[in-house]
Amino acid sequence: MPCVGTLRISGYDEDLVITVKDIARRAGVSLGTVDRVLHNRGKVAPDTEARVREAVKSLSYTPNIHARNLSQGRVFVITVLIPQLESDGGYWAEPYRGIQRAFARLNMSNLEVRTSFFNRYNEQSFADCLDSIFGACDDVLAPDGLLVAPVVSIDSQRTLAAHIAQHNIASVAFDSRLHGTDVPFVGQDPRQGGRVAGRLARLMRDGGSSVASVTLGRVDVHLQERANAFREYWAEISSGDIHDLSLLDGSEEEYRDELVTRLSEIGADLGAVFMTNASADLLAQAVAIIGIRRHIPVIGYDLLAQNAQLLREGRIDAIISQRPETQGYEAAHMLARHLAFGTDMDAEILMPVEIVLPENVDSFSSDR
């Protein structure tokens, strides 16, 4: 898959624009009065100014930078930096679908979207994408905005943060925070997710005094945070062993085979297993290969199609959903409105920790 693609979005949703006429109508004053209040020109009676400012606040008005940029022919360039969509069992297609839906709904004629795909298990792939985005460009050619899933090492995150600061690029991180920065974040609190998984393991365990957490790859900070929170919770409520299975980067087959080996070493004492990412299907395959007669509860992440089917079949016992499509939508919508309309961006938009069981899997919407 090529590192960079381009999508041009045409048109825009005029219903999203609040005008000074709306403010004047809400406050019951003339357009001239609104103009004087907004631009601090001339004297306005205190009670009148208060009415205008209250109307501005209630309507969430911001100056229509978008319309002004349209008249000046300004085009905003947003780069989406995301793992290859087929990785993690196809997980990344979910937030990408939300990103596309947000841009299509905004329908802005002065927006150009470029997408860079990287191999999340290859740090050089991420570095190559950064070079393609920033390496040969100055401030004029750098993107105006960046949507990024920074599921890479802390060192790579620091390199990305330096580029953002150097070019002063409006940015939003989704799925994982860009650590050490104040870049807005859309996603789930990984520690909450890990502790919820620990509680589920406690409730579902049926025999076996130990538990295990499985993390694929060793550079993904937010997955490690989930695993750490899971282990901390278990240490608080049980004296049983906690096995941390952090697997080296590899293919799906290599992960599955290593899981078979590592879980077999734990043996019959295993009470429950938590997969920190969307690849719970690999964990279910490994448990089936081992052939332990007693049922071992499997807790995973993200309601991908294959995970939903395994839930129905009873081969996975619970899935924690973090609404990846909604993450992508909210991140793209917030960044595009900030660039086009000058709206403030939230410091964070947190997704709920939702528990999906075989009994309620079919009631969840397609936004997993």
146-159 pLDDT, tens digit each: 999 999 999 999 99
Q: Is the pLDDT of residue 275 over 60?
A: yes
Biggest CA–CA distance in the chain, Å, is 83
Instruction: Give the per-residue pLDDT at 20.
Output: 76
Cα 319 to Cα 72, 308, 368: the distances in Å are 49, 8, 11
User: Which range among 14-23, 152-161, 282-291 shows the weakest confidence by mean pLDDT?
Assistant: 14-23
Average pLDDT over residues 171-187: 97
**pLDDT of 6 higher than 60:** no
Domain boundaries, the chain: 4-11+70-187+324-351, 19-60, 190-321
pLDDT of residue 365: 55
pLDDT score, position 160: 96
The pLDDT confidence band at residue 22, using thresholds 50, 70 and 90, is: confident
Mean pLDDT, residues 251-270: 87
Query: Which range, of 133-142, 206-215, 261-270, 281-290, averages the lowest pLDDT?
Result: 133-142
> Mean pLDDT of all residues in the chain?
86
pLDDT at 33: 84
User: Which CATH superfamily groups domain 19-60?
Assistant: lambda repressor-like DNA-binding domains (1.10.260.40)
How far apart CA 153 and CA 176 sit, in angstroms, is 11
Residue 7 has pLDDT above 50, yes or no: no
Summarize the confidence of residues 190-206 as an average pLDDT. Answer: 94
Q: What is the pLDDT of residue 41?
A: 64
d(CA 158, CA 178): 8
| pLDDT recorded at residue 13 | 41
Higher pLDDT, 223 or 207: 223
**pLDDT-above-70 percentage for the chain:** 88
Gap between the Cα atoms of 69 and 66, Å rounded: 5
> Which two three-digit tokens encode residue 113?
């979207």
pLDDT score of 56 more than 90: no
Identify the band that residue 330 occupies on the pLDDT scale cut at 50, 70 and 90.
very high
Q: Are domains 4-11+70-187+324-351 and 190-321 of this chain identical in fold?
A: yes
Give the tens place of pLDDT for each residue, 97-145: 999 999 998 877 778 999 999 998 888 999 999 999 987 554 446 899 9
pLDDT band at 8 (very low <50, low <70, confident <90, very high): very low
User: Residue 346's Cα: distance from chain center in Å?
Assistant: 14
Please report the pLDDT score of residue 42 as a whole number. Answer: 66
pLDDT digits (tens, 9 = 90+) for 235-246: 999 888 899 998
CATH top-level class of 190-321: alpha beta
The more confident residue out of 141 and 257 is: 257
Least confident among 17-26, 188-197, 275-284, 295-304: 17-26
Q: 3-class secondary structure for the chain?
A: CCCEEEEEECCCCHHHCCCHHHHHHHHCCCHHHHHHHHHCCCCCCHHHHHHHHHHHHHCCCCCCHHHHHHHCCCCEEEEEEEECCCHHHHCCHHHHHHHHHHHHHHCCCCEEEEEEEECCCCHHHHHHHHHHHHHCCCCCCCCCEEEECCCCCHHHHHHHHHHHHHHCCEEEEECCCCCCCCCCEEECCHHHHHHHHHHHHHHHCCCCCEEEEEEECCCCHHHHHHHHHHHHHHHHHCCCCEEEEEECCCCHHHHHHHHHHHHHHHHHHEEEEEECCCCHHHHHHHHHHHCCCCCCCEEEECCCHHHHHHHHHCCCCEEEECCHHHHHHHHHHHHHHHHHHCCCCCCEEECCCEEECCCCHHHCCCCC
Give percent above pLDDT 90 in the chain. 53
250-267 mean pLDDT: 86
pLDDT at residue 66 above 60?
no
- 4-11+70-187+324-351 belongs to which homologous superfamily? Response regulator (3.40.50.2300)
Residue 62 has a pLDDT of: 65
> Which comes out higher in pLDDT, residue 194 or 22?
194
Between CA 265 and CA 152 the distance in angstroms is 30
Intra-chain end-to-end CA distance of the chain, in Å: 25
* Per-residue model confidence (pLDDT) at position 57: 85
Mean pLDDT of 42-53: 87
State how far the Cα of 357 lies from the Cα of 320, in Å rounded to an integer: 9
